[in-house]
Chains A and B, each alone.
Chain A
Amino acid sequence: MPGYSPVNHKMLQVPVGPGQEVYSKRGAMLAYTGAVRFAPTTTAGGGIGGAIRTTMAGESTPLMHVTGQGSVMLGHHGLHVEVVDLQGDTLYVEAERLLVYDASLQSGTMFLGEQGGLSGVIRGQMTGQGLFTTTLTGHGSCALLSHGGVVQLPVQPGRAIYVDPQAYVAHRGQIQNKLHTALGLRDLIGRGSGEGFQLELTGQGVVYVQASERKF
């Protein structure tokens, strides 16, 4: 069964068949061929517990379950689409930046406080990311949305990467992240450089960064 194939930078063709079902952002379907069904879902394969967690987390991006036999074209708001293939590792991504993912991937929600405790909570508030982030684990594909496309920056031990929270899209691998502040007197009086907060990513893995500071 072929995988996801980009039509262009902003449209993705996803094959659907028996054993190859996907979850997609609700309303992102642009066209389809074949006998494809779209069912709204709140559990997204995570079970009731997952649904409760998701609701509590305020990760309220609605999803739909795409089944049947055929091919679906997906796109959202003219944003760039980037396909990420997972081989047993975990991707951390904000729910609203997820266009589509294989149903074979396990999705979950991670409380930011689990990573960094109180500062994780503060980080979520400061960066407007919310307190929870979505995790995808297993073997399969998913597609990320970004404004202007993403670049991958490798994170290695001893080589930390600092990212503007608004330009951060996702990361994978064994990565710790915490909020890094470089606030000075100038920021307090409104004459800062606009770079007061960054996410500091350390460990081993890859971080996806978009070429824009715009959230959507």
Chain B
Amino acid sequence: MVRVLSVAQFRMNGSRMLAVDLRGETIRALNGSMVAYEGQMQFKRQGMTGGEGLMGAVRRRVAGESVTLMEITGQGTVYLAHEATEVNLVPLQGDTLLVESESLLALDGQLRTGVQFTGLRGMTTGQGLATTKVEGHGTVAILSDGPAIALEVVQGQPLSVDPQAYVAHRGQLQQDFVTDVNWRTMLGQGSGESFQLRFSGHGLVYIQPAERGEGLGAEV
């Protein structure tokens, strides 16, 4: 006998609002992102460990990660949105998605989250030292300022993106940091494109048509 796992149904209600049909399942969502619901719903802020265990909590604390999620359980439909930004659905089938923590709107309760250290990139983008790693089977809803696009990276053709436009990536990708700082940059005459993230390997990179706020990259 096959055991059927019920999975919460994620669907879009316009491009900026996510509707999730729940029949007793649990999902996790950005704290305070509920705009409406029908039926019976419980909202519970995640505990200190957030399902990542004690080490996860410690790693998060070290990395300065401060994105809080809440657990939503119930029967009915819950509508989620955040600051009128666009919502994109990413289905995961056992693979891993790395996403900027502040771009995470909601994820299926069966997905596991963790912290991935990013090193220098985080410092230049003002995002902190870590991104969120999501793995398992289920749907992730990510936020983007303007509609996000997915760019495919294939072997031998690395892709460079602006760190402030980067949202998420998945697949077998290595990332490294490219700088193009010269004497013009030092004099404040740079083109504003002195830092890039370069992805090589095989996978998808999601970028948004807007550049996030302040950071080293924005200044030089």
Interface residue count on the B side (C-beta < 8 Å): 25
Say whether B70 contacts A211, CB under 8 Å.
no
Say whether B31 contacts A194, CB under 8 Å.
yes
| B168 part of interface (Cβ distance < 8 Å) | no
| B83 part of interface (Cβ distance < 8 Å) | yes
Say whether A211 contacts B16, CB under 8 Å.
yes
Residues of A within 8 A of B34 (CB): 164, 195
B4-48 interface code vs A (CB 8 A; 1 in, 0 out): 000000000110110000000000000111111110011111000
Give A163 to B44 CA distance when docked, in angstroms: 17
Q: Chain A at the B interface: mostly helix, strand, loop or mixed?
A: loop
| B84 part of interface (Cβ distance < 8 Å) | yes
- When C-beta atoms are compared, the residue in chain B nearest to A148 turns out to be B84
Say whether B70 contacts A167, CB under 8 Å.
no
| A8 part of interface (Cβ distance < 8 Å) | no
Say whether B81 contacts A148, CB under 8 Å.
yes
- Output the least CB separation between B188 and chain A (Å): 31
Q: Name 15 interchain pairs, CB-CB below 8 A, sorted by A.
A: A80-B84, A147-B83, A151-B79, A153-B79, A160-B38, A162-B38, A164-B35, A167-B36, A182-B43, A193-B71, A194-B32, A195-B34, A211-B16, A211-B17, A212-B81
| B212 part of interface (Cβ distance < 8 Å) | no
Give A206 to B67 CA distance when docked, in angstroms: 34
Give A54 to B83 CA distance when docked, in angstroms: 30
Residues of B within 8 A of A192 (CB): 45
Across the interface, A153 reaches (CB within 8 A) one of B32, B36, B83, namely B36
Say whether B45 contacts A210, CB under 8 Å.
no
| A77 part of interface (Cβ distance < 8 Å) | no
Give A211 to B17 CA distance when docked, in angstroms: 6
| B59 part of interface (Cβ distance < 8 Å) | no
| B170 part of interface (Cβ distance < 8 Å) | no
- When C-beta atoms are compared, the residue in chain B nearest to A153 turns out to be B36
Give A193 to B43 CA distance when docked, in angstroms: 6
Residues of A within 8 A of B70 (CB): 193-195
The 6 closest A-B pairs by CB, nearest first: A148-B84, A194-B32, A167-B35, A211-B16, A211-B81, A193-B70
Say whether A210 contacts B84, CB under 8 Å.
yes
| A51 part of interface (Cβ distance < 8 Å) | no
Q: For residues 181 through 198 of chain A, which have their beta carbon under 8 Å from a beta carbon of chain B?
A: 182, 186, 191-195, 198
Residues of B within 8 A of A148 (CB): 16, 81, 83-85
Give A209 to B44 CA distance when docked, in angstroms: 23
Residues of B within 8 A of A161 (CB): 36-38
Question: If the complex has contacts A149-B84, A195-B70, A212-B83, are A159 and B45 also in contact, measured as CB distance less than 8 A?
Answer: no
| A213 part of interface (Cβ distance < 8 Å) | yes
Residues of B within 8 A of A209 (CB): 17, 35-36, 79
- When C-beta atoms are compared, the residue in chain A nearest to B16 turns out to be A211
Say whether A195 contacts B84, CB under 8 Å.
no
Residues of A within 8 A of B32 (CB): 193-195, 213
| B137 part of interface (Cβ distance < 8 Å) | no
Say whether A164 contacts B83, CB under 8 Å.
no
Say whether A159 contacts B83, CB under 8 Å.
no
Question: If the complex has contacts A194-B32, A211-B16, A211-B17, are A162 and B84 also in contact, measured as CB distance less than 8 A?
Answer: no
Residues of B within 8 A of A153 (CB): 36, 38, 79
- Output the least CB separation between A86 and chain B (Å): 22
